[in-house]
Amino acid sequence: MTGMQKLRILLWAAVGAVAVAVLVLSLTGRRAQEPQPVQTPVTFGGPFTLVGSDGQPFSRQRLAGRPHVMFFGFTNCPDVCPTTLARLVKLRRQLGKGKDAFDIVFVSVDPERDGPEEVGKYAQLFGEPVIGLTGSPDQIAKVKKDYGIFSEKVPTGDTYTVDHTAAVLLFDRNQQFQGTIAPDETDAAALAKRAGLSLRQLERLFHRHLGVSPRGYYQRLRLARARDLVQGTMMGLAQVAEAVGFDSLSHFSKCYMDAHGIRPSEDRQRHFTTPGDGPGDGLTGDAPTLKHPPTKRPSGARRRAA
Q: How far apart are CA 129 and CA 103, in angstroms?
A: 8
User: Residue 188: its pLDDT value, please?
Assistant: 62
Name the pLDDT band for 202 (thresholds 50, 70, 90): low
The whole-number average pLDDT for the span 121-150 is 92
Tell how many helices (H) and how many strands (E) occur in the chain. Answer: 10, 11
Class of the 49-197 domain? alpha beta
Best-predicted range by mean pLDDT among 90-94, 100-104, 161-165, 221-225? 161-165
User: Residue 269: its pLDDT value, please?
Assistant: 85
The whole-number average pLDDT for the span 178-204 is 64
Per-residue pLDDT reduced to its tens digit, 223-255? 887 888 888 887 889 888 887 778 889 989 999
**105 vs 281 pLDDT, higher one:** 105
User: Residue 98: its pLDDT value, please?
Assistant: 65
User: Residue 277: its pLDDT value, please?
Assistant: 36
| Domain at 214-290: CATH code | 1.10.10.60
% residues pLDDT > 70 (the chain)? 61
Closest CA to 274 of 263, 285, 261: 285
Residues in a beta bridge with 133: 52, 107
- Please say if the pLDDT value at position 22 is more than 50: no
Domain regions of the chain by residue span: 49-197, 214-290
User: Residue 241: its pLDDT value, please?
Assistant: 87
User: Residue 25: its pLDDT value, please?
Assistant: 40
- Please say if the pLDDT value at position 3 is more than 60: no
From residue 207, how far is each of 64, 81, 113, 212, 222 by CA, in Å?
Answer: 33, 33, 47, 5, 18
Please state whether the predicted TM-score (pTM) of the whole model is above 0.95. Answer: no
Contacts of 28 (CB under 8 A, 6+ apart): none
Q: How far apart are CA 57 and CA 282, in angstroms?
A: 59
DSSP state of 172: -
Best-predicted range by mean pLDDT among 85-99, 124-138, 276-290? 124-138
User: Residue 151: its pLDDT value, please?
Assistant: 92
Sheet with strand 130-134: strands edge to edge: 57-59, 49-52, 130-134, 103-108, 68-73, 168-171, 177-181
**178 vs 110 pLDDT, higher one:** 110
User: Residue 228: its pLDDT value, please?
Assistant: 83
